[in-house]
Chains A and B, each alone.
Chain A
Amino acid sequence: MKRSLTLLLVLVLAFTFALVGCSAKTEEPAKTEEPAKTEEPAKAEEPKEKILVFARSGDSVSLDPSNATDGESFYVARTILDTLIDYEADNTNLIPGLATSWKTVNDEKTIWEFELRQGVKFHDGTDFNAEAVKINFDRWMFEDNELRFPGENFEYWGYMFGGYPGIVKEVRVVDDYTVQIELNTPSSPFLNNLAMPCFGIMSPAAFDEYGADIFKNPVGTGPFKFVEWIKDDKIVLEKNEDYWGDGPKLDKLIFRTIPDNSARLLELQAGTIDMMIGVSPDDAQIVEEDPNLDLYLRPSMNVGYLAMNMMKKPFDDVRVRQALNYAVDKQGIIDAFYAGLAEPAKNPMPPSLWGYNDSIEEYEYNPEKAKELLAEAGYPDGFETTLWAMPVARPYMPQPKEIATALQQQFAAVGVKAEIVTMDWATYLEKGQNGEHDTYLLGWTGDNGDPDNFIYVLLDKDNAVVGSAGNVSFYKSDELHDLLIAAQQEPDQAKRAKLYEDAQVIIHNDAPWVPLVHSTPPIAARKAVKNYVPHPTGGESTFWQVDIQE
């Protein structure tokens, strides 16, 4: 008797589980209504306080952006610090930032003079002036500078300017509000580079006050002031009343870290956060159908790719690399994992950039041709290899593991047996830079809207150094290198565009990658959030104009 009671209990339990699974959909509307009700009285108490809670998948590494390389760090830092030059709200055209105007003062175009904005104060009350600019630049460019604190190495300065001090010769203070930057050679991407969030200007007084702790106590001139940072939880910023520009309209801006995509969306629907990045493309439709939410699409300026390690067999053979290109059904992957929010890639840079070569003929999806090429290369029965997949969602690849599984199947169809390898994010990047992989999934979001920022960083032989490679195919082409260096020094944009178009032909023929997609990352916000404009570089400097109107 006791036994049958137990059995009954078990069955009831199982049945309940099944019911819960089925009824999940019908319960949803009720969930969204409840928190909204409880929230109203709270808002009514303090009607003036406007707080925007913004959620993302990872926390910042550093709040001193010059010392960070990750998008999450830049995302927050660019609301606290200003750069000399800024981007327009939704593209990478340049507009004045802390500098009001700039010009070259010599014929070789190597000396740039910047007029600085007057009357700007740092958050600590000290004045922004030419001396402050020089102190910041000297800190980044000279390895023996006394303001370089232990552990700081300013990687991005090296990436963009080719070393320390690299192509920058000297920064001179002309008068209180005029600064000159002298270069060793003319550089076309130079101004665009200065607008990158990693070159935000900090208060010199703060260096003295905080020393090595500056990375968690940023003091800038931006629309928001730093209040507190609870690691892996939240970063709280408050309104800078003395901001030199318009706004800000919000009283507080809070960046929360919620790693799981679906959990973050649930919080948004519940109203505990106001905005989120990293919406799974599959969830985009849910956001669109939700009457309380708006879906934003970030203009596409990225590429997701599969790099093949040319230092290892059999990927030293161009036929093998081309065969894998023919083996991949990009459209199938996009339909399945991007919900149409992406387009197939055929070049290493996105079509939204100037210099994109649209005349290149994509390696179409053709498994038969792939098998032929493999047979020609001496692998009629295929081969075994590893397929490395990143452990975290990226804007260009929201579901890397799923995509790796799909690629694994498509490769199996032409006889290539790939084993999926994955590990934690930091190790993944490190081992990739060391060239330990066979094939490797990765991607890139453009920082400054210049083709140099894609092709030179990701495919030039200068960046194929084992241990710190940006070029994880370890593709070394002298022909390509010559074109890219010429393009860096060429002042005329039309001529540069031509050089980059030629570069893409070389890359296409050598096929160091399987270029996969250019994605359009979706962003979701409550309807009350106004004036938000997503920026193609993956982070906004226009939070000053964002408002909440219930």
Chain B
Amino acid sequence: MEERIELIDEEKHEVQGLWSNVFKRLRKNKTSMFGLFIVLLLIFLAIFAPLISPHDPIAGQLSLRHDAPSAEYIFGTDSQGRDVFSRVLYGAKISIEIGIISVGIALILGITMGIFAGYYGGIIDIIVMRIVDIMLAFPTILLALAIVTILGPSLVNAMIAVGIVNVPKFARIVRSSVLSVKENEYVEAAISIGCTDFQIITRHILPNCLAPILVQATLTIGTAILEAAGLSFLGLGAQPPMAEWGSMLADSRGYMRQAPWSVMYPGFAIMITVLGFNLLGDGLRDALDPRLKE
């Protein structure tokens, strides 16, 4: 947010007004505040996981295998005798990383493609949007599977795959916003005083497309975490012994009868996290909707 404000200093005052207005409206919406709370809690846990977690998430003691939840191991232990609570905490760290990095990849590629298509139009628009259409023709998880299979199974490759899969969403949103924004008088004014395309795009168009991108990014973080967990569950994402929620589920699902806690908590963590991002995203959408401006 701050970066953006620096970008357009002449509009500083008005922009601050917009964002405080948005936050005011967001605050009225209790479910999205709940989402925001979950997201902030998650970020807090992710940053302080090494300090909070009572045990090593990687090194276990085989002799303590499948211990039921107790004061010492509040979420119990898994099949390798590792503390499930510590692993869930470290999993938050990995999931946040996955969410931010893969959405970052999707944003960079998607925004670039969307701006080229929307701003220049014509043949560029046709080519870029047909590529996007082709990508949309594949079911997301299938496309991600194919990409990871080509790159080889690892967490980094899973992030890349999830990022690429989400590119079309951003490309389409950015293109449509650019199409409407570039008709505005201030863009015409910028063109008439001889601004370069780069200046026009970065100073005038992009800042005004930000609202839908922000909403989409928040929602996509949730799905990205879910998709990466799915890849890890299939053994194509995080590799053992990494504490990743999806791979924790996959490792423990065979022990659902002996140690239900080793499956339940990582599953619950995924659910809560995705829920948090979705609630926040929905709330942001409502708060940023210009039709709801008073």
Query: Interface residues, chain A, CB within 8 Å of chain B?
Result: 3-4, 6-7, 10, 14, 17-18, 21-22, 24-25, 261-262, 280, 282-283, 286, 329, 332-333, 335-337, 399, 401-402, 404-406, 408-409, 412, 419-420, 422
Contacts A262-B254, A282-B255, A420-B239 given; does A7 touch B264 at CB 8 Å: no
Q: How many A-B residue pairs have CB under 8 A?
A: 73
Contacts A3-B29, A7-B30, A333-B62 given; does A280 touch B239 at CB 8 Å: no
Contacts A4-B30, A7-B31 given; does A401 touch B257 at CB 8 Å: no
Q: Which of B63, B240, B257 contacts A404 (CB 8 A)?
A: B240
Q: Does B59 contact A (CB under 8 A)?
A: yes
> Cβ of A4: which chain B residues have Cβ within 8 Å of it?
30-31
A280 vs B256: C-alpha distance in the bound complex, in angstroms?
Answer: 13
A-B contact pairs, 16 of them (CB 8 A): A7-B31, A18-B264, A18-B268, A21-B264, A333-B62, A336-B62, A336-B63, A336-B81, A399-B79, A401-B251, A402-B80, A404-B240, A405-B80, A409-B59, A409-B60, A409-B80
Closest to A329 in B: B62
A59 vs B120: C-alpha distance in the bound complex, in angstroms?
Answer: 58
State how many angstroms separate the Cβ of A520 from the closest Cβ of chain B: 20
Q: Are B62 and A406 in contact (CB under 8 A)?
A: yes
> Cβ of B240: which chain A residues have Cβ within 8 Å of it?
401, 404-405, 408, 420
Q: Are B254 and A261 in contact (CB under 8 A)?
A: yes
Q: Which of A17, A25, A402 contacts B79 (CB 8 A)?
A: A402
Q: Which of B62, B257, B275 contacts A262 (CB 8 A)?
A: B257
Q: Are B254 and A399 in contact (CB under 8 A)?
A: yes
Q: Are A262 and B256 in contact (CB under 8 A)?
A: yes
State how many angstroms separate the Cβ of B238 from the closest Cβ of chain A: 11
Q: Does B179 contact A (CB under 8 A)?
A: no
> Cβ of B204: which chain A residues have Cβ within 8 Å of it?
none
Q: Are A335 and B239 in contact (CB under 8 A)?
A: no
> Cβ of B239: which chain A residues have Cβ within 8 Å of it?
419-420
Q: Does B116 contact A (CB under 8 A)?
A: no
> Cβ of B257: which chain A residues have Cβ within 8 Å of it?
24-25, 262, 283, 286
Closest to A389 in B: B240
Closest to B263 in A: A21
Closest to A22 in B: B260
A404 vs B256: C-alpha distance in the bound complex, in angstroms?
Answer: 20
Q: Does B73 contact A (CB under 8 A)?
A: no
A56 vs B2: C-alpha distance in the bound complex, in angstroms?
Answer: 61
Contacts A286-B257, A333-B62 given; does A7 touch B79 at CB 8 Å: no
Q: Are B264 and A336 in contact (CB under 8 A)?
A: no
Closest to A334 in B: B62
Closest to A422 in B: B235
Contacts A18-B264, A24-B256, A422-B235 given; does A405 touch B241 at CB 8 Å: yes
